[in-house]
Amino acid sequence: MAKQWFKRDEKEKKSLLSDKIFKFAAAAAGAYVLAVILIIVLQLGIESMPIWEEEGIGFITGTDWNPVPGRESFGAFPYILGTLITSAIALAIGFPLSIGIAMLVMIIPKKIGQPLGYLVELIEAVPSVVFGLWGLFVFRIYFRDLVEKPLHDMFGDSIFLFGGTPFGLDIMTASIILAIMIIPTISSISREVMMAVPQQQREAAYMLGSTTFEMFRMAIFPYSKTGLLGASMLGLGRAVGETMAVTMLIGNTTGLRAIPQSLFDSSQTMPSIIANEFIEASPVSLHPAALVGIGLILLAVGLSINVAAHFLVARMVKVNEGPIH
Amino acid sequence: MTYTDRQQKRAEIRAMFKSNVRRRLWVDKIVVGTVIVCALMAIIPLIWILGTAVYSGVPALNWEFLTGKPGAVGAGQISIGPAIQGTVIIIALTSLIGLPIGIMGGIYLSEYGGNSRFAKQIRFFMDVFMQVPSIVLGIFAFLAIVLTLGYYTVWAGAIALSFIMFPIVARSTEEALRMVPWTYREAGAALGLSKMVITLRIVLSQAKKGILTGVLLSISRVGGETAPLIMTILGSNIFFSGFDSSTDALPLRIWRLSLQPYDEARIAGWGAALTLVIIIFAIHLGVRYFFLRDKSGKGLRGVLRG
Amino acid sequence: MSTVMTDRSATITTIDKPQTRYKMRTENINIYYGKTHAVQDLTLAFPEKSVTALIGPSGCGKTTYLRCLNRMHDMTPDAKVEGRVLLDGADLYDKRIDPIYHRRKVGMVFQKPNPFPTMSIYDNVVAGVKLNGVRNKDILDEIVEDCLNMAYLWEEVKDILKKPAMELSGGQQQRLCIARALAIQPEVLLMDEPASALDPIATQKIEETIEELKKDYCIIIVTHNMQQAVRCSDYTGFMYLGKLVEHGKTKQVFERPVDKLTAKYVQGQFG
């Protein structure tokens, strides 16, 4: 179609200068994203150079965190671990819930399903800092008293997961808030990929006399599993990068103490340590470089998760264009 | 196999079929129940949060709270005037940077790039970049601007937030432009208009609803961002005092208030949170009500037995 | 004796000898899609061990009608079905009974082959059987061989049963779908233009399959292709604009149609 356009343009030989400038500007605006990504990666790489020179690979595997001048030592391992643990728990809780919601919206009449889907999407609109505020002042109190304490009293001695003394500012509360926050992302995308399963597949399952659940199991889940994986990756990406709510709930410990021994221990994630310490870091020390280094790791993790997720979701869409219809 | 043989065999197999239908329907009901519980577990926190924000936030709301400047905690008077002002300024500056780039990028993807490899790559990287941890953008803006200039500035915050805004705007603009029928462009070309004029005058104006939707949603997303602001605008206790000093913003103020151990701070925090949520939800519901009415629920067609 | 269906007739037209056993019958079926009245007051009966073809131009409602015989419209939110569909005297649309009780007895083959892409050939065939609680490997093996035989596919796939169904050709996939439908041991088989997307050889195979199956089943087939209707059906119903215009023995409908419209259609003057 676009070619036709150019033909007409050429025929009239009116390829004005302004037209060319406009096209160039549009292309530049499009290419801007590539430049931005490149510059961000370079900038973070250069500024974190000192810490890589000082600590080497030990920056990733180390557990020290000492910004006191003279005894400076930085290791990002506890925060990488904290990020992975909270995100994994958030995903473990959020993914099944999201799939459930996506299924529900698909099986109930449109009149209820539509508002419900919209309500779930509204969760995404609540600012992260408001989630944090609610978690800090409301949720953690109830959760500590009604869930964590009983669990700790009952299993604290036998199961290490429930070992730490519940305080409410811990891995578990942060993960649960994270789980709620990633539900809209996962559920809307998984609904999309499940909707993309051709009607004929569902009819085939129903024709064999399956119940709705069996239809999901037989026709929808196997067909859309790649896309569902992609949806969960997108959720994971969101959880990994989430800052404020986690910062407000995780307890913000540093160094070895940030490696949690149980679900009820305080910890720290990559975004939260940056949020907590970035402005206070002394510019003449290695501290800022260490935090930028953590930012670089976070960026790398975030980008790779999202790249993988987009490939998975895109593959799902491609499958639909294939001959299966 | 003779006919009777087959008849008999089929009867045998049918006899083997367990009459498990009743059980399966029960399982189905349990699954439906479970997914309803799933939905509740997502909806209840939302309602709980909004309820708490209203319940705890309303007592804080009054004219003085919204327009005054923050006094010392303990003096009993905390206001969020500078924060609201700062958020407005920062959204304006973010839009100033992010909207032209976003809309032009969308125009490129829809009108020029099409399905070329380059356009596909841009689309892909925009989708990926949209999800980049926002605090990283803050670090970048700090290093590139605050460190270079030597002072915290609202521009640094605006640049960081514009990185969040422009991909959203670009992708939604692209979608909106694609919805404009091709004949509009052909009609313009038949009149001998240049492509720039056609795009700006005809296509863009046809798609303005869709573009505005994307713009408003990106503003609501940017308005709630906190993390990149921490190291770019820092926060401030006074009203905006120039581009070379720190500025306040609502989400940032909420965080700072949450860190203070006083009851007044907590109440003020909820007041600020309620204000922020009202602004963001107003945008969302407004967009929903005015722009998305006919489009909504598009994906729900042809679903399952009722 | 053969009479022509007129609309509004509440009595079932008898086409054959009075003692013909009808497997399935519909009474005053009306189907609405939103505001479209897609099928109007259709009353029809399908004898046992026979093939009934439904013909008519596109959009005449024949597929819509066929789908209501298996309650497939339950899945389309806008669709509404009125009237009764009786299978051995039991109403399919009885609200107290879940449709899955009936769907077990009514198999369906769709216009486009739709095997489950992630399953092997074997698993596709036994998918419905497993739902019914049969897990015994020997029995499953036997059913697979039997059904694939009935669908004329066994010889071609017996060595590759564990391969994904998507590796088969379009015609093979369609026959796999027939086998899958047969595996649940239905009593009625609905076929919605089963050969429309296939090449002539595959079409011929499927017609042979139908010929074979009719010894056992009540088959209702929707087709665009009039030759196909002549070749494989015993009875033919001609539909136009949502109404049944004519119904009778295939030979009679094609050679001595009563209705002018039918005559025009079977002579290929429209549609």
User: Is residue B283 predicted with pLDDT exceeding 70?
Assistant: yes
Q: pLDDT above 90 covers what percent of chain A?
A: 76
- The whole-chain average pLDDT of chain B stands at 89
Residue B10: closest C-alpha in chain C = C185
Q: How confident is the model at residue B77 (pLDDT cuts 50, 70, 90)?
A: confident
- What's the whole-number mean pLDDT along residues B119-140? 95
Q: Which residues of A touch B224 (CB under 8 A)?
A: 125-130
Exposure string (b/e) for B213-242, b if CB count within 10 Å is 16 or more?
Answer: bbbbbbbbbbbbbbbbbbbbbbbbeeebee
Tell me the C-alpha distance between B56 and B99, whole Å: 36
- φ, ψ for residue C109 (rounded to 5)? -120, 130
Tell me the C-alpha distance between A150 and B120, whole Å: 53
Give the per-residue pLDDT at B9: 82
> Tens digits of per-residue pLDDT, C4-51?
444 433 344 445 555 678 899 999 999 998 888 999 999 999 998 899
> Tens digits of per-residue pLDDT, A134-163?
999 999 999 999 999 999 999 988 888 888
Q: How confident is the model at residue B15 (pLDDT cuts 50, 70, 90)?
A: confident
Tell me the C-alpha distance between A39 and A42, whole Å: 5
Closest CA to A101 of B179, B259, B34, C124: B34
Q: Which residues of B touch C136 (CB under 8 A)?
A: 16
Q: How confident is the model at residue A4 (pLDDT cuts 50, 70, 90)?
A: low
SS3 state at C153: coil
Tell me the C-alpha distance between A273 and A279, whole Å: 11
Residue contact C107–A198, C-beta within 8 A: no
User: Is residue A6 predicted with pLDDT exceeding 60?
Assistant: no
Give the per-residue pLDDT at C224: 85
> Tens digits of per-residue pLDDT, C225-257?
888 999 999 999 999 999 999 999 999 999 999
Q: What are the residues whose beta carbons fall under 8 Å from the beta carbon of B132, sequence distance 6 or more?
A: A241, A299, A302, A303, A306, B163
Tell me the C-alpha distance between B48 and A139, whole Å: 9
- φ, ψ for residue A210 (rounded to 5)? -85, 155
Q: How confident is the model at residue C204 (pLDDT cuts 50, 70, 90)?
A: confident
Residue contact C70–A109, C-beta within 8 A: no
- φ, ψ for residue A13 (rounded to 5)? 50, 45
Contact in structure between C37 and C30 (CB atoms under 8 Å) = yes
> Tens digits of per-residue pLDDT, B132-191?
999 999 999 999 999 999 999 999 999 999 999 999 999 999 999 999 999 999 999 999
- What's the whole-number mean pLDDT along residues A263-278? 95
Give the per-residue pLDDT at A284: 87
Q: Which residues of A touch C131 (CB under 8 A)?
A: 208-210, 214
SS3 state at C155: helix
Indicate which of C72, C101, C105, C116 best probes the interface with A, i.e. most A CBs within 10 Å of its own CB.
C116
Among C74, C99, C132, select the one facing B17 at the smallest CB separation: C132
Contact in structure between C73 and C67 (CB atoms under 8 Å) = yes
Burial, A40: exposed, middle or buried (Cβ in 10 Å; 0-12, 13-18, 19+)? buried
Domains in chain A (CATH in brackets) are: 55-318 (1.10.3720.10)
**Could you say which residues from 27 to 86 on chain C have a Cβ atom under 8 Å away from some Cβ of chain B?**
71, 74-77
Burial, A86: exposed, middle or buried (Cβ in 10 Å; 0-12, 13-18, 19+)? buried
Contact in structure between C51 and A179 (CB atoms under 8 Å) = no
Among B52, B112, B297, select the one facing A134 at the smallest CB separation: B52
Tell me the C-alpha distance between A53 and B48, whole Å: 48
Q: Which residues of A touch C128 (CB under 8 A)?
A: 208-210
The count of other CB atoms within 10 Å of the CB of residue B111 is 24
Q: Which chains touch B (3 or more CB pairs under 8 A)?
A: A, C
A19 and B CB contact within 8 Å: yes
Contact in structure between C216 and B3 (CB atoms under 8 Å) = yes
Q: pLDDT above 90 covers what percent of chain C?
A: 50
Which stretch of B142-151, B258-267, C73-82, C176-185 has the lowest confidence by average pLDDT?
Answer: C73-82
Give the per-residue pLDDT at A222: 93
Give helix A110-125 / helix B263-290 axis angle, nearest 10°. Answer: 140
Among C75, C132, C215, select the one facing B305 at the smallest CB separation: C75
Contact in structure between C37 and C242 (CB atoms under 8 Å) = yes
Q: How confident is the model at residue B126 (pLDDT cuts 50, 70, 90)?
A: very high
- What's the whole-number mean pLDDT along residues A233-250? 96
Give the per-residue pLDDT at A139: 96
Indicate which of B1, B6, B21 best probes the interface with C, i.e. most C CBs within 10 Å of its own CB.
B21
Among B6, B16, B302, select the one facing C76 at the smallest CB separation: B302
Q: Three-state SS string across chain B, please?
A: CCHHHHHHHHHHHHHHCCCCHHHHHHHHHHHHHHHHHHHHHHHHHHHHHHHHHHHHHHHHCCHHHHHCCCCCCCCCCCCCHHHHHHHHHHHHHHHHHHHHHHHHHHHHHHHHHCCCHHHHHHHHHHHHHHCCCHHHHHHHHHHHHHHHHCCCCHHHHHHHHHHHHHHHHHHHHHHHHHHCCHHHHHHHHHCCCCHHHHHHHHHHHHCHHHHHHHHHHHHHHHHCCCHHHHCCCECCCCCCCCCCCCECCHHHHHHHHHCCCCHHHHHHHHHHHHHHHHHHHHHHHHHHHHCCCCCCCHHHCCCCCC
A15: its two tokens: 């390829």
SS3 state at C183: helix
Residue C36 DSSP label = E
The count of other CB atoms within 10 Å of the CB of residue C37 is 14
> Tens digits of per-residue pLDDT, A39-70?
999 999 999 999 999 999 999 999 999 998 88
Residue contact B46–A310, C-beta within 8 A: no
Indicate which of B16, B23, B25 best probes the interface with C, i.e. most C CBs within 10 Å of its own CB.
B16
Tell me the C-alpha distance between B280 and B219, whole Å: 8
Sheet harboring C243-249: ordered strands across?
A: C106-109, C188-192, C218-222, C50-55, C235-240, C243-249
A34 and B CB contact within 8 Å: yes
Place of tokens 């800092």: A129
Planar angle of CA C39, C41, C42, nearest 5 degrees: 75
Residue contact B133–A133, C-beta within 8 A: no
What distance in Å separates residue B35's CA from the closest CA in chain A?
Answer: 4
Place of tokens 């250069």: A46
Closest CA to C38 of C86, C70, C83: C83
Residue contact B297–A137, C-beta within 8 A: no
Q: Tell me the torsion sign for CA atoms C111, C117, C122, C123.
A: negative
Q: How confident is the model at residue C59 (pLDDT cuts 50, 70, 90)?
A: confident
Q: What are the residues whose beta carbons fall under 8 Å from the beta carbon of A278, sequence distance 6 or more?
A: A288, A291, B138, B139, B142, B230, B231
Closest CA to B249 of B164, B165, B156: B156
Among B3, B9, B18, select the one facing C133 at the smallest CB separation: B18
Give the per-residue pLDDT at B194: 87
Q: Which chains touch C (3 or more CB pairs under 8 A)?
A: A, B
Give the per-residue pLDDT at C221: 95
Tell me the C-alpha distance between B76 and B203, whole Å: 55
Residue C120 DSSP label = B
Q: Which residues of B touch A40 (CB under 8 A)?
A: 136-137, 140
Residue contact A114–B139, C-beta within 8 A: no
Q: How confident is the model at residue C99 (pLDDT cuts 50, 70, 90)?
A: confident
Residue contact C108–A325, C-beta within 8 A: no
**A56 backbone φψ class: left, alpha, beta (φ>0; ψ -120 to 50):** left
A92: its two tokens: 């473990």
Contact in structure between B82 and B238 (CB atoms under 8 Å) = yes
Q: How confident is the model at residue A322 (pLDDT cuts 50, 70, 90)?
A: very low
Q: What are the residues whose beta carbons fall under 8 Å from the beta carbon of B15, sequence distance 6 or more?
A: none
Q: Which chains touch A (3 or more CB pairs under 8 A)?
A: B, C
**Could you say which residues from 170 to 189 on chain A have a Cβ atom under 8 Å away from some Cβ of chain B?**
180, 183, 187
Tell me the C-alpha distance between C141 and C136, whole Å: 9
Contact in structure between A289 and A51 (CB atoms under 8 Å) = yes
Tell me the C-alpha distance between A223 and A202, whole Å: 10
Give the per-residue pLDDT at C10: 38
Residue contact A203–C110, C-beta within 8 A: yes
User: Is residue A75 predicted with pLDDT exceeding 90?
Assistant: yes
How many residue contacts between B and C have a Cβ separation below 8 Å? 49
User: Is residue C132 predicted with pLDDT exceeding 70?
Assistant: yes
Residue C215 DSSP label = T
What distance in Å separates residue C265's CA from the closest CA in chain B?
Answer: 32
* Residue type at position A205: A
A9 and B CB contact within 8 Å: yes
Residue contact C216–B6, C-beta within 8 A: yes
Which stretch of A158-167, A250-259, B24-33, B72-81 has the lowest confidence by average pLDDT?
Answer: B72-81
- What's the whole-number mean pLDDT along residues C82-99? 88
Tell me which H or E stretch contains C196: none
Give the per-residue pLDDT at C214: 87
Residue contact B273–A133, C-beta within 8 A: yes
B65 and A CB contact within 8 Å: no
The count of other CB atoms within 10 Å of the CB of residue C267 is 11
Contact in structure between A244 and B255 (CB atoms under 8 Å) = yes
Place of tokens 């009353």: C43
Contact in structure between B46 and C218 (CB atoms under 8 Å) = no
Protein fold of B63-305: MetI-like fold (1.10.3720)
Q: What is the largest CA-CA distance in chain B?
A: 99
Q: How confident is the model at residue A317 (pLDDT cuts 50, 70, 90)?
A: low
User: Is residue B303 predicted with pLDDT exceeding 70?
Assistant: no
**Beta C79-87 vs C22-33: how paired, if at all?**
antiparallel
